[in-house]
Amino acid sequence: MTVPGNEAELLARVVIGDRQAFELVMRNHEDRVFSVCLRILGDRERALDATQDTFLTVFRKARQFEGRSAVGTWIYRIAVNTCYDQLRRMQRRPTERFPEHLDPSDPGAEQEIESAGLRPEIEAALAVLSPDFRNAVILSDLEGLSLPEVADVLGVPVGTVKSRLFRGRRLLAQRLGNQTMS
């Protein structure tokens, strides 16, 4: 990453057509711009489009940079405005549902949606478990490793894995409100 003072120089080089300078500016800011776009738009594909549009705008309008702020601040402002433009366009052209005969139901998709809805709860419950219990449950129940494989990964006897799984599952059940698990 370049020193902030050098960024204005890089942008000046972009104005005269230096593509390497533009690539440096883009590389320095693309992760943060994408992150900002993703948080505003809430959709990965739209965020990627907005990130691309942001840097196209930076390239086209580099000569308009007046130096009253840091280059990064200027770029993030362009990113935010690009996202707002996308949101306005989406509101103007609301999507319509396909007619039912063109959009047949997929029972498997509904199950995936339901399980995805539970995932944040499970992740939150896992996060409060001690690392010993959490690792055993993740390796066995989520990753599908056998008890001997889990024991090898954790460097403990199989009996210890069984104990950690039992306790971890019970704590998860309590956290998730399923008290009937024994």
118-182: CATH number:
1.10.10.10
Would you list the domain boundaries of the chain? 4-92, 118-182
Note the pLDDT of residue 153: 63
Note the pLDDT of residue 116: 41
Predicted TM-score (pTM) of the model is 0.50
Note the pLDDT of residue 117: 41
Note the pLDDT of residue 68: 81
Full DSSP string of the chain: ---HHHHHHHHHHHHTT-HHHHHHHHHHHHHHHHHHHHHHH--HHHHHHHHHHHHHHHHHHGGG--SSS-HHHHHHHHHHHHHHHHHHHHHHS---PPPGGGS---HHHHHHHHHHHHHHHHHHHHHHS-HHHHHHHIIIIIT---HHHHHHHHTS-HHHHHHHHHHHHHHHHHHTT-TT--
4-92: CATH number:
1.10.1740.10
CA atoms within 13 A on the CB side of 44: 0
Note the pLDDT of residue 93: 60
Q: Which stretches in the chain have pLDDT values below 50?
A: 1-4, 98, 102-104, 106, 108-118, 179-182
Neighbours of 55 (CB within 10 A): 20
